[in-house]
Structure 1
Amino acid sequence: MLTGGRRLRGTLAFLLTCWKLNLAGAMEFRMSFLLMAGMMVVNNSVWIFFWSLFFQRFEVVNGWSLPDVMMLWAISAGGFGIAATLFGNMNRIAWLTANGQLDVYLVQPKPVLLNVLASRMSVTAIGDAAFSVILYVLFGDGSWLGFAKYALAHVVAAVIFLFFMVIVGSLAFWIGNAEGLTGQMFNAVVSFSTYPTDIFKGWGRVVIFTVVPAGFISYMPIGLLRDAVQWDFLLGALGMSAGIAAFGTWFFYAGLRRYSSGNAIAMRS
């Protein structure tokens, strides 16, 4: 029990150190940092402008109102922002594997997957996280319960984003260069998570709740953030996030047994 507690404290200390150093590295070029994060906020705001124009003409569409769509974007942008800020290598597993760049992580006395993911920070993702906060202030429920549901939605979204990309990136252990596939699947999960779930019917709806589990992110404004929580959806979303995390971790380490060293001297990337 004591050994497990020490190991957990050591892992948390390691994570905090990684995040601190990543942020310090990003802030070394402060103007570039502010511009990249700020441009992501501007980029997301363009989509919000178009959605606002749409709902000026149609106030409610399939039960979705403008605040619902704003919170959809808040959860999607915030979930991705948290995942990519804290674990910025989640989109680069395929590249690291195909180019033999995992060697440096294998010789370090830390969990390989955690070490890989936390060794990099996405600066633009900080802009996504900030954009989420702005939308919540403008459109969210300001109560303590509303904030708690908002925070829970972010945890679920971040876990799904993170481990979906771990699974896709780990395909490189089996099929070789999977960078193109990783990029396509990343675009798919981001795109599906930023549109109201109810526009998808039939097999499309099945796909976004299974193959590309973006539906568990995009349905949050209806299933969790409203006054009446849909408990079947919430339990399904929690189950999906736990399941994809467990499978993603297993899948990465199963693939790691097939990994061939790049025989190259490299630094953490």
Structure 2
Amino acid sequence: MSTAVKLASFVKTCWKLNLAGAMEFRFSFLITAGTMIINNAVWVFFWWLYFNRFQTVNGWGLNDVMLMWAISAGAFGLVSVFFGNALRLPSLIATGQLDAYLTQPKPILLHVLISRMSVSAIGDLTFAFLIYFWKGDVSLAGGAKFLLALLIGAMIFLGMALLLGTFAFYLGNTEGMSSMLFDSIVTFTVYPTDIFKGLGKALLFTLIPAGFISSMPIKLLRPAVDTPFLIAALAFSFALVLFALWFFHRGLRRYTSGNMTGMRM
């Protein structure tokens, strides 16, 4: 069996065990995931009230905003479900909890990321597909574009989570700072990009790359795809993830063991 096949099997096993652990307490699982669906739906309801009075906002309609929420929630859900430790990196690094992973014959960062699943994020992912099947283009081409939008969004969220988390190698416990900065990025992904102008809009496509995610409904999901935007979004998301991987492994050289004893798969 090749190394790639063994690694894929390992990842699949981790995800299965994470899901089994989440499903162990069915009622708690349903309540947690269901609450997140309701939370997202409440925000969409407020936008519905707004668009009942104003039909468009700089060319954005209600369907565009609903799909924007679907992409943001779905991309965040993908990262939190399949790479659940991405947002916990600062705490894991600062408290020496990487020790248990360093002794395993698996890629360290991958092993860390897939070792946890966020139950509430399953609600985010479910919400995304509910909105898509309700308001999106459910054709083959429409489905492919929606999945591509989720992938790009997930890569941007993952890349930013890794970058912010890696600062813990240099600055100590940056959990509060990382959480605040990441939450600000998530917040800007659920506002139409065109309401921002000048420097604010420039920041949304650079330091706070939420603009690539929030622009998806009008740049990618509409019948006429904005090809230059799509190329830029793909290039940025791939470059961000690659740089984040490099930054993490460079920071790992500064890691100080917490002398913790633990066992992993």
- Determine if the TM-score, normalized by the shorter chain, exceeds 0.5: yes
Given candidates 186, 193, 218, the residue that maps to 2:182 is: 186
Q: Give the whole-Å Cα distance in 2 for the aligned partners of 1:185 and 1:8.
A: 35
Alignment of 1:160-175 (within 5 A): 160-175=156-171
Equivalent positions of 1:42-121 (< 5 A) are 42-121=38-117
Match of 2:18 in 1: 22
Q: Distance in 1 between matches of 2:98 and 2:74?
A: 29
The unaligned stretches of length 5 or more in structure 1 are: none
The SS at the match of 1:60 is: coil
Q: Which amino acid aligns with 2:33?
A: A
Residues 219-268 of structure 1: CA distance to partner in whole angstroms, max 9, x if unpaired? 00011000100011000100011001100100100000000000122355
1:48 alignment partner AA? V
Identity of matched residues, %? 55
- Between the aligned partners of 1:266 and 1:179, the Cα distance in structure 2 is 22
SS of structure 1 residue aligned to 2:137: coil
Q: Does 1:9 align with 2:23?
A: no
Alignment correspondent of 1:236: 232
1:200 aligns with 2:196: yes
Query: 1:256 matched to which residue of 2?
Result: 252
State the 1:11 CA deviation. 1.4
Q: Distance in 2 between matches of 1:45 and 1:174?
A: 39
Counterpart position of 1:222: 218
> Per-residue displacement from partner, 1:34-69 (whole Å, max 9, x unpaired)?
100000000001101000000011111101000000
Distance across 2 between alignment mates of 1:64 and 1:237: 20
Q: Which amino acid aligns with 1:85?
A: V
Deviations 1:84-142 (A, max 9, x none): 10000010000000001000010001101100000000000000000001101111011
2:170–2:251 CA contact under 8 A, matched in 1:
yes
From 132, 139, 145, give the equivalent of 2:135: 139
Paired residues, number: 265
Residue type of the alignment partner of 1:72 = M
Which blocks of at least 5 consecutive residues in structure 2 are unaligned? none
Cα distance in structure 1, aligned partners of 2:234 and 2:37: 28
Structure 1 consecutive aligned stretches of length 4 or more whose deviation exceeds 6 Å: none
Deviation track 1:127-161 (CA, whole Å, cap 9, x = no partner) reads 00000011011110111100000010011011111
CA contact (8 A) 2:100 2:260 kept: no
CA distance in 1, matches of 2:34, 2:74: 15
Q: For 1:153-164, list aligned pairs within 5 A.
A: 153-164=149-160
| Partner SS state of residue 61, structure 1 | coil
> Are the aligned partners of 2:101 and 2:108 in contact in 1 as well (CA < 8 Å)?
yes
Opposite residue 13 of structure 1, the aligned amino acid is S
